[in-house]
Amino acid sequence: MKSTTRHALSRRALLAGGAVAVGLPFLDVMRPSARAAGPVRPRRLLCYFVPNGVRGDAWFPAPDSELQLSPSLAALAPVKDRLIVFSGLANAPGMPELPGSHASGTAAFLTARKARRSEVDLHVGVSLDQRFAAANAGATPLASLQLGCEGGGSFGACDIGFACAYHRSISWSSPTTPLPKLTSPRLAFDVILAGDDPGASAAARAGRRAARRSVLDVVLADVHDLESDLGAADRVRLDAYLDGLRALERQVDAPTGLGACTAASPPGEPADFPVHVDMMTELMVLALTCDRTRAISFMLGNAASNRAFPFLGVEGGHHDLSHHAGDAAKIAGLRRVDAWQAAQFARLLRRLADTPDGDGDLLRSTVVLLGSDVGDGNSHTHHDLPVLLAGGDDLWGGGRHLVYETGTPLARLYVSILQALGLPDTRFGEDGDGPLPGLRLDA
């Protein structure tokens, strides 16, 4: 690391110690090579799934071209100018011929293709994130990262003849290959920083952690050498990054679950749901900051999740609330859940916006998509879907509400996203014929 003054650090510079490699955040010392070669900022994609649709009357903004946030989206006010809300988008391939809307809608969320109704013979399509990941193969240590806050296996039926894989995976590397998500913050931390195999046994992972001890302790000598070559601003930035990394490591390694006589969370999964979401948010930011991957998918919950939200003062599970049948108390509870979910998304966007990346921030270089399996959970519609797009500031202007004719294919938005990320695609899914009009300001 002593040669920093002679050779600028690369974007993927590592602090290496033993079996551990820690990617660096973007530092000013990395800029000289960028000046010589021209500004090159990696593009990134993060896809964020929320289950059960939304209560539309409190979620969708007024139909103005200038974005006026609705009550359910109020928490997004700090990043409003970097956000686009869509109305009128539909995912027709997600509509099944028979019941099973949650499985089919979730399978189609990022693939825009109809899922084969089967418990064993899976078939849907390649997902948006995996199309992007394939185009960037080899650029980062991890081709992609799949995270979530609700687990479960892929086998068996979860929705009237549909395999559980359709319920629990939104990332598909091929039409027959769902990518399982990591729900343990501890395991995700190890995979992101040390490249651990998520399929390894608990004993093997424990041995890896013991050998690793603290990631930061292993690389302190390299950090010390590096800091001597950094300017004051870079030292502050690096110290803040390492402090946050150490705090996150302590958090994910903390004991989880309850006493032996009560139901506990799975190993590595916090019993407190808001804490779990916060940790996953930090892990997504970490993975992008260190350029460990440029493609992330995240499921706040599985399809038809019936998670309870007692911390919001809401009675009943989420899926039950979504089938409110006009019950005022359930509708009020659903609106609270919608607002809370938007607040978690807002926190992610703020963290990305607060993280430097070259001459901008991570939100500027990351396209962040939020969506759901259905529009209205009470009626299982697949039109008027809740869709948000954030980041990628130089690709499209924020602070907008784009209203399209009801039934406009969601897949056309995906064509726009892929093209903005540098891919040549002109079609996506079953009905994505060309990009979405009116989105890109330079189109």
Residue pLDDT, tens place only, 40-78 = 679 999 999 999 999 999 999 998 788 999 999 999 999
Residue by residue, DSSP assigns 33-90 as: HHHHH------EEEEEEESS---HHHHSPPS-SB----GGGGGGGGGGGGEEEEEEEE
- Output the pLDDT for position 2: 41
E strand or H helix that includes residue 403: strand 400-409
- Output the pLDDT for position 1: 38
Q: How confident is the model at residue 152 (pLDDT cuts 50, 70, 90)?
A: confident
Q: Residue 135, class by beta-carbon neighbours within 10 Å (0-12 exposed, 13-18 middle, 19+ buried)?
A: middle
Inform me whether the pLDDT recorded for 266 exceeds 70: no
Q: Cβ–Cβ contacts within 10 Å for residue 236, how many?
A: 11
Q: Cβ–Cβ contacts within 10 Å for residue 214, how many?
A: 15
Question: 55 and 334 in contact (C-beta within 8 Å)?
Answer: yes
Across 91-211, where does the E strand assignment appear? 145-148, 157-159, 162-163, 172-174, 177-178
Handedness of CA 147, 149, 151, 156 (dihedral sign): negative
Strand-pair partners of 178: 172
Query: For strand 387-391 and strand 83-90, is the pairing parallel, antiparallel, or unpaired?
Result: antiparallel
Whole-prediction pTM: 0.87
Contacts of 85 (CB under 8 A, 6+ apart): 60, 61, 67, 73, 387, 388, 400, 401, 402
Question: 318 and 338 in contact (C-beta within 8 Å)?
Answer: no
Buried b (16+ CB within 10 A) or exposed e, 265-277: beebbbeebeebb
Residue pLDDT, tens place only, 197-247 = 666 666 766 666 665 555 556 555 566 667 777 777 777 777 777 777 777
Residue 337, classed as helix, strand or coil, is: helix
Percentage of the chain surpassing pLDDT 70? 79
345: tokens are: 């998304």
Inform me whether the pLDDT recorded for 257 exceeds 80: no
Give domain limits for the chain.
Answer: 1-40+203-268, 44-183+269-433
Inform me whether the pLDDT recorded for 29 exceeds 50: yes
Most distant CA atoms of the chain, gap in Å: 68
Residue pLDDT, tens place only, 325-361 = 999 999 999 999 999 999 999 999 999 999 988 889 9
- Compute the C-alpha angle 182/286/303, nearest 5°: 35
Between CA 204 and CA 200 the distance in angstroms is: 6
- Output the pLDDT for position 233: 74
Question: 339 and 75 in contact (C-beta within 8 Å)?
Answer: yes
Q: Cβ–Cβ contacts within 10 Å for residue 40, how many?
A: 9
Question: Which of 381, 373, 440, 435 lies closest to 407 in space, CA to CA?
Answer: 381
Inform me whether the pLDDT recorded for 264 exceeds 50: no
CATH class, range 44-183+269-433: alpha beta
